[in-house]
A and B are shown apart, each in its own frame.
Chain A
Amino acid sequence: MELVASDLACARGGIALLEGVSLRLTPGQALILRGPNGCGKTTLLRTLAGLQPAMAGTISCPPETVAYSGHADGLKAVLSVRENLSFWAQIHDRAGVGVAMAAMNLTELADRQAQNLSAGQKRRLGLARLMVTGRWLWLLDEPTVSLDAASVALFGAIVRTHLAQGGAAIMATHIDLGLNEAAVLDLGGFRAAPRAPDGFDEAFV
């Protein structure tokens, strides 16, 4: 299992953001995406997750092998922590809800409804979901938003465990996770050149 993406070009809302992105990830490796706001980190992650097609280039990993975690956690407000997590575990046909809750320090909150959680607790639940997917490649978009320092450390620990078990992770983040072994890819250098306006637009220039 390895991820090879070559010469990717991605667009958001019809505007080309990135081009010429190539990356390679083998089990046990982590990659941190950096770059200014709006440079295409989320777009690249959604493309790798198969949620949107690449404009050009190839991705070796089928979407069935990756777990995506975006800005929204995908939680149902009226379900409890355990019910939310069990649902995703059943969808992925996996066990390990208890282990995931323990790893993200959610065991005490197991029977609380998601609507009564704090922002950081919701995010911890969203990240615990990754552990019950059983997918080898985690695509994480700003995973540490609204987490406190202790929770960031917990998260760093589950990522490290995941890597040790032969997983891999790509993270778009602005803060230091303490994953010193992770490679860093700055997307600032892959900004797509502005496209020449096509005929229709030219008529209005």
Chain B
Amino acid sequence: MIALLARDLRLAMRAGGGFGLGLAFFLVLAVLVPLGVGPEGGTLAAIAPGILWIGALLACLLSLDRIFALDFEDGSLDLLATAPIPLEGVVAVKALAHWLTTGLPLVLAAPVLGILLNLPGPAYGELVVSLLIGTPALSVIGAFGAALTVGLKRGGLLMSLLVLPLYVPTLVFGAEAVSRGAQGLPVATPLLLLAGITAGSTALLPFAAALALRINLR
């Protein structure tokens, strides 16, 4: 399992591996929104929590179809399915690798981009914490969507349609936590719900995704 994680991280870091793709998208979005909306501080501050969370979500979505599609194309997925490690473990490790290369950089970059969007001062802590507990769910749910569509030619669009509704609760509670933080309200409830979604999807979806992979490999 550690070998698989190391391989996926190494592949992501090498040329053409897609590391930084999501981060670049997040940066572009955070730079373009103030240009499009206008420089008025009050408007930006009001929409900043939502924009930051939407940006993180779309940045995650961008690299999802790489989770299994590349391994499917070159035959590695067949070989991993017959390897001694369980397919559920393969899914969990690949979701973790996706989070480490996509979600974690977003979490670290978010405070800097918050400045661009004039995010109110008190909300920075909530922004980082909510992304830190919310983005693992994005990777795990995304891995499930990628597993469902792995054998399809150009399945990326279908996967986005399948995954986006599942992302809605994470987006709602994540953005809610940040905007409550901005207004100085208590944030425990949305953060706990966010943590619940992450814990539940991490516990259940690897099994569903492994089943979907087995069916797609037939």
Contacts and interface: CB of A to CB of B under 8 A. Distances in A.
Interface of B: 2-4, 7, 10-11, 14-17, 73-76, 78-85, 217-218
Given A73-B74, A74-B75, A87-B4, 7 more contacts: A51-B82, A67-B82, A71-B75, A73-B75, A74-B78, A78-B17, A91-B84
The 3 A-B pairs with the shortest beta carbon distances in the complex, nearest first, are A72-B75, A90-B3, A74-B76
Contacts of A24: none
B84 A64 contact: yes
A79 B39 CA distance: 47
A50 B78 CA distance: 10
A52 B84 contact: no
A190 interface: no
A24 to B, nearest CB: 21
Nearest to B214: A51
Contact of A66 (B4, B10, B80, B82): B82
18 contacts: A51-B78, A51-B217, A51-B218, A67-B82, A68-B79, A70-B78, A72-B78, A73-B74, A74-B76, A76-B7, A78-B11, A78-B14, A78-B17, A79-B7, A83-B7, A83-B10, A91-B4, A91-B84
A53 B166 CA distance: 31
A98 interface: no
B79 A88 contact: yes
B7 A92 contact: no
Contact of B78 (A68, A75, A87, A88): A68
Contact of A70 (B14, B75, B80): B75
Nearest to B17: A78
Contacts of B218: 51-53
A189 interface: no
Contact of B82 (A68, A71, A73, A78): A68
A74 B11 contact: no
Nearest to A66: B82
Contacts of B7: 76, 79, 83, 87
Contacts of A76: 7, 11, 74, 76
A67 B85 CA distance: 14
A137 B13 CA distance: 35
A91 B83 contact: yes
Contact of A79 (B11, B73, B78, B81): B11
Interface of A is mostly: loop
Contacts of A71: 75
A186 interface: no
Q: Which of B11, B16, B74, B79 has the most CB of A within 10 A?
A: B79
A62 to B, nearest CB: 11
Nearest to B217: A51
Contacts of B16: 78
A74 B120 CA distance: 49
A93 interface: yes
A166 interface: no
Nearest to B80: A91
Interface in A169-200: none
Contacts of A92: 83-84
Contacts of A50: 82
A74 B79 contact: yes
Contacts of B14: 78-79
A50 B84 CA distance: 13
A177 B215 CA distance: 34
Contacts of A90: 2-3
A79 B7 CA distance: 9
B75 A49 contact: no
Nearest to B73: A72
